[in-house]
Chains A and B, each alone.
Chain A
Amino acid sequence: MAFLLRAAVSQLSRTTSGAQPAAALRCMAAAPFAQRMGSVRGIADEAKDTKEEFLAKWNEVAPSTLDPPSFASEFLEKSADPPADGAPVPSKLTFSFYLPHEKPYSSAEVDMVLVPAITGDFGVMPGHVPTAAQLRPGVLTVQEDEGTSKKFFVSSGFAFVHSDSTADVCAVEAFPVEDLDAATVEAGLADYTAKLASATSGGDDYEAAAAQIGVEVYSAMNAAITDNK
């Protein structure tokens, strides 16, 4: 799968000493968690769930000794009441950043987030219009407050901005841009460019696609390093 390949490629370019700054970052990000949790919909979401009908059918066909199972939606973080239509826009954005192996941000209050979408970068501030974006390999910048901003290289994923000034980013792999190793990136880029050339001339579609992804990710990492200098 494409997003997995991108993640693997980006992970390979991390420096071995990257563990320390990453750990420090985790400590900082863990500090203040907002009281307000999760994100909220304007429309009642019960209307689109079929849990009630499921339970009714369950009681019909399942053995009476078997309790019905729980549902994934029962384990979401508790969401606050939807804000009234005329409510003022909050001053901070509630940002959550989900990775399979950690949560760098979990309902943290930040000023702005710069998201690298396929169609281009866009900045998310409180009051942003609801957006669903697919991410390209690139740099995600989180501006926590005046002066503190953190940059993460994201392999790929999705970003959602909801109507109540909450933003969720789900990515397969992400780490601080400082962890990128320039030498490995250069080598990888050269390697995949060669592979792409040979695959396109050879006519193997799968290999060509994989090589294309490799070139894409390594170029993005290269750009991220150059921008960060």
Chain B
Amino acid sequence: MALRNLSTVMRGPLGLQQAGLLAPASACAAQTVGAPHLSKGGPSTQVRNASQLETQQKMKSVGNIMKITKAMKMVAAARMKGAQRKVEACRGMVDPSIKLFGDNPLVEGKSVTVPITSDKGLCGGVNSQVNRVVKALQDVRADGAEAPRLCIVGDKGRSVLTRGMPESVDFVADQATKQAVTFATASAIAEEILKTDSAASRIVFNKFKSAIAFQPTVATVPSPETIESKPELVEKFDEYELEGPDRSEFLTDLQEFNLASTIYWGMLENGCSEQASRVQAMENSSKNAEEMLSALTIKYNKTRQAGITTELIEIISGAVALEG
């Protein structure tokens, strides 16, 4: 290959500005990688070829990564659209109960923290945000209350929280998002949480505000006993005529329903935030890969051109030496 290129150079009057030298990297690549030719002899050419080869391999792998991250970004964007529709349809189910019973995140007595995280990674900072809030939440409780138990949803929460506070973890529900999240999924998780018999459950998730903004949020669901123990809530609830079973059964059923609704809402919001965050993360990855690729391409071309220049100099000086 080197000899061939050289002959093209020698023919033209413009020397280096020959089409041969400006062949695209891929054409050169095809020619260089072909055979580890020792035709030009001398260790110097082999060294040049080897570094070109190395740069080429780097370029190839970076190019592949860029393709993968671009594809992942498109998939995540499509999933985010679907998730956004689902989220907007479900918002509001917990509103009536919040209006009725208020929002009491400072829990007294035994409480349960339910962090909602994703199962898959490469989704930016959403999971670390939730994990940090959960760690801080362990201490934010009324004086005298015991440390909250953890009922983790999602693989990414498990890996961090079971390492940090393994004794607080009650159970982990992972692969919950393997199939589309339905109310049944949330109910199954709620049923497990209800077995812990706690005064309140605090569900931590990322609220989807927009494609670039997610806000860690805490949604509290008190137990019937907690509601009955607060006089101002009892007073408010007393205003309402009860059409249903007796008061305690009504409250139990209502709070079971609310726990399932809140978990469902949290899972949908977090799922949407996860997809949006993945779009951003993959976008950044693709951009970085592109920059790396252009830097590598420049390096490769420089190396290649330097190699050819050196060959030229050798030949010309050899020719001059022969004449002289």
Known: A71-B105, A102-B89. Contact between A133 and B243, CB under 8 A?
A: yes
Q: Tell me the bound Cα distance from A73 to B220 in angstroms.
A: 9
Tell me whether A35 is interfacial, beta carbon within 8 Å: no
Tell me whether B45 is interfacial, beta carbon within 8 Å: no
Chain A residues with Cβ below 8 Å from B47 are none
Do B106 and A54 touch across chains, with their CB atoms under 8 A apart? Answer: yes
Tell me whether A43 is interfacial, beta carbon within 8 Å: yes
Interface residues of A in 113-149 (CB under 8 A from B): 117-120, 122, 129-134
Chain A residues with Cβ below 8 Å from B300 are none
Chain B residues with Cβ below 8 Å from A58 are 136, 140
Tell me whether A227 is interfacial, beta carbon within 8 Å: no
Interface residues of B in 86-115 (CB under 8 A from A): 86, 89-96, 98-106
Identify which of B217, B237, B260 contacts A1 (C-beta below 8 A): B260
Q: Tell me the bound Cα distance from A62 to B182 in angstroms.
A: 34
Q: How large is the interface on B (under 10, 10 to 19, 20 to 34, 35 or more residues)?
A: 35 or more
Do B96 and A168 touch across chains, with their CB atoms under 8 A apart? Answer: yes
Chain A residues with Cβ below 8 Å from B239 are 42, 130, 163
Closest to B218 in A: A69
Among the stretches B19-27, B58-66, B248-256, B304-312, the one at the interface with A is: B248-256
Q: Tell me the bound Cα distance from A46 to B215 in angstroms.
A: 22
Closest to B143 in A: A57
Do A134 and B103 touch across chains, with their CB atoms under 8 A apart? Answer: no
Known: A61-B139, A72-B220. Contact between A158 and B86, CB under 8 A?
A: no
Chain A: residues with CB nearer than 8 A to chain B? 1, 3-4, 7-8, 38-39, 41-43, 45, 47-51, 53-54, 57-58, 61-63, 66, 69-77, 79, 96, 98-103, 106, 117-120, 122, 129-134, 157-160, 162-163, 168, 170, 172
Listed from nearest, the 6 A-B pairs whose CB atoms lie closest are A134-B244, A72-B219, A133-B243, A73-B103, A62-B136, A61-B139
Besides the known contacts A41-B99, A49-B102, A73-B102, 5 further A-B residue pairs in the complex with CB atoms under 8 A apart: A51-B103, A62-B136, A75-B91, A160-B240, A172-B257
Q: List 27 contacting pairs A-B, 8 Å CB cutoff, sorted by A.
A: A8-B184, A50-B103, A50-B104, A51-B103, A57-B140, A58-B136, A66-B136, A71-B217, A71-B218, A72-B218, A73-B98, A75-B217, A77-B92, A98-B96, A100-B183, A118-B245, A119-B243, A132-B241, A132-B242, A133-B242, A134-B245, A134-B250, A134-B253, A134-B254, A160-B240, A170-B257, A170-B261
